[in-house]
Amino acid sequence: MPAEAKVSTKVNKPAKVEARAAIPASPPLTERQEARRRRILHASAQLASRGGFDAVQMREVAESSQVALGTLYRYFPSKIHLLVATMQDQLEHMHGTLRKKPPQGETAAERVAETLMRAFRALQREPHLADAMVRALTFADRSVSPEVDQVSRQTTAIILDAMGLENPTPEQLSAVRVIEHTWHSALITWLSGRASIAQVKIDIETVCRLIDLTAPPSDRP
Amino acid sequence: MPAEAKVSTKVNKPAKVEARAAIPASPPLTERQEARRRRILHASAQLASRGGFDAVQMREVAESSQVALGTLYRYFPSKIHLLVATMQDQLEHMHGTLRKKPPQGETAAERVAETLMRAFRALQREPHLADAMVRALTFADRSVSPEVDQVSRQTTAIILDAMGLENPTPEQLSAVRVIEHTWHSALITWLSGRASIAQVKIDIETVCRLIDLTAPPSDRP
DNA sequence: CGCTAATCTAGAACAAGTTCCAGACTTGAT
DNA sequence: ATCAAGTCTGGAACTTGTTCTAGATTAGCG
């Protein structure tokens, strides 16, 4: 009965909307829909790379990706949703890249710091894109929680990878949480010009010390 | 030659504006101007307390504070500036309150954690206000850097107060920076419903352990 | 093939932040 | 008291995110 599979279910909430999870669950998209989605994300990243958050204008994204404005909103119910999805997309790349060349450090703390600094350098290459994604991430309200959570999980996975742990203790998970907090907030201070790259480095290295602090049993093989 | 002292100097930047420092420097305001400023901040906090960030609408703020829209924008060049100024205002209160009853903990880490949790509980009493202020703070771009920096300095002061240190070492200052990062980011996750109050507590306590880690010489009297 | 339900498109319409403007009002200096 | 310069006001206008609508298209099914 349907045509192209439903993209998302809209509800008439007074002010905000909800979204479709970016996880490969949900109704599967047809090929053309998948293509549209890709075009949109590409346009989003492209525009963001130019002028950051402000340069990602929904009408422009729609035009660039050859899609009607209404369609854009069907795929991504708000600008924030779009940018968070863009971030998910970029994060996947990043995780893939990082996997290939695991960090070299001796201790878990060193490896995590190294990994985050590597990611940081990647962001420095596209500071505007970083701006758009991070601002969206921290500005997101409850209606974007699932997507933001997904980003958070992905980040956690990257950090745990760097630590090289199978069964992290609750304490270590707490440390990872704090590291993520620091990572996000440090990025923001850098993006808004209130902290230098060197300062971000120090902050990351500082917080990574928490890992040593929470590694009681065996850390070295 | 002038009338009421100039409030701020506007420049025709393509998209953004700049602001007057909230620090008691800059051209001093006349009494009526001070009163206007106060009315505006009050209206802002009031509206924020109701519906959070979205409820602070510039037209409403202007009306509530009996000021023309153009005047509101002369005092606070953007909604973000206004909310950050509102935060400065609230932080001063908070710092005063905290000064009166210093934290009881034995170690510096305990005292800082206690202080932050106290602040957190205060925010819980006005979650919408907290939402508006914190969202503005993290969404602020470069044009608001001076004001955001001021907020950051104030927060640092509160934490250092709690630590009870006169001459913090660079290491300790790094720890304080990381604590601030964690504080802001943890607040965001709480406000957006992605972390529970208990989780925030754990994160704060976890990061505060960094203080012990960076207190080499003498910590106990 | 022909249907039917859902999707997509183009474009208007609405909302809130921000900018502009002309005229009334204040202020400090002469 | 008068004047010049800067402020404040009310309101229109512009921008960009978001919503809505009517009609054209598409996908899968009988």
pLDDT value at residue A153: 96
Q: Which own/partner pairs from B76-79 qualify as long-range (CB within 8 Å, at least 24 positions apart)?
A: B76/B19, B76/B40, B77/B8, B77/B10, B77/B17, B77/B18, B77/B19, B77/B143, B78/B16, B78/B17, B78/B19, B78/B143, B78/B144, B79/B136
Strand D neighbours among A 4-63, CB < 7 A: 4-5, 12, 15-17, 30, 32, 54, 56-59
Residues of each domain in chain A carrying CATH 1.10.10.60: 31-75
pLDDT in tens, A5-44: 556 543 333 333 333 333 344 667 788 889 999 999 999 9
Lowest-confidence segment of A69-73, A109-113, A162-166 by average pLDDT? A162-166
pLDDT tens-digit map of B127-158: 999 999 999 999 999 999 999 999 999 999 99
Domain B31-75 maps to which CATH number in 3.40.50.300, 1.10.10.60, 3.40.710.10, 3.40.50.2300?
Answer: 1.10.10.60
Looking at residue A174, what is its pLDDT?
Answer: 95
Average pLDDT over residues A64-85: 97
- pLDDT of B3 reads 52
Pick from B142, B150, B206, B213 the residue to mutate for testing the A interface (most A CBs within 10 Å).
B206
pLDDT recorded at residue A59: 98
> According to the model, what pLDDT value does residue A151 have?
97
- pLDDT-based confidence at residue B196 (cuts at 50, 70, 90): very high
- pLDDT tier, A3 (very low <50, low <70, confident <90, very high otherwise): low
pLDDT averaged over every residue in chain B: 87
B198 Cβ under 8 Å from any chain A Cβ: no
- Of A126-140, B25-39, B88-102, give the lowest mean pLDDT range: B25-39
Which residue in the block uniquely carries the two structure tokens 């008439």?
A12
Instruction: Determine the pLDDT at residue A9.
Output: 41
- The residue among B31 and A96 whose pLDDT is bigger is A96
Q: What integer pLDDT is reported at residue B27 of this predicted model?
A: 67
Given this model, what pLDDT does residue B29 score? 73
Q: Name the protein residue, with chain letter, whose CA is nearest the C1' of C18.
A: B78
Q: CATH 1.10.357.10: which residues of chain B?
A: 79-213
The yes-or-no verdict on residue B11 having pLDDT over 50 is no
Which CATH number applies to B79-213? 1.10.357.10
Identify the CA nearest to A210 among candidates B184, B209, B205, B198: B209
B70 touches strand D (CB under 7 A): yes
Q: Indicate if the pLDDT at residue B30 is higher than 50.
A: yes
Q: What is the pLDDT of residue B195?
A: 97
CA dist., res. B125 & res. B134, Å (int): 15
Percent of chain A with pLDDT over 90: 78
Residues of chain A in contact with residue B171, where contact means CB-CB under 8 angstroms, are 206
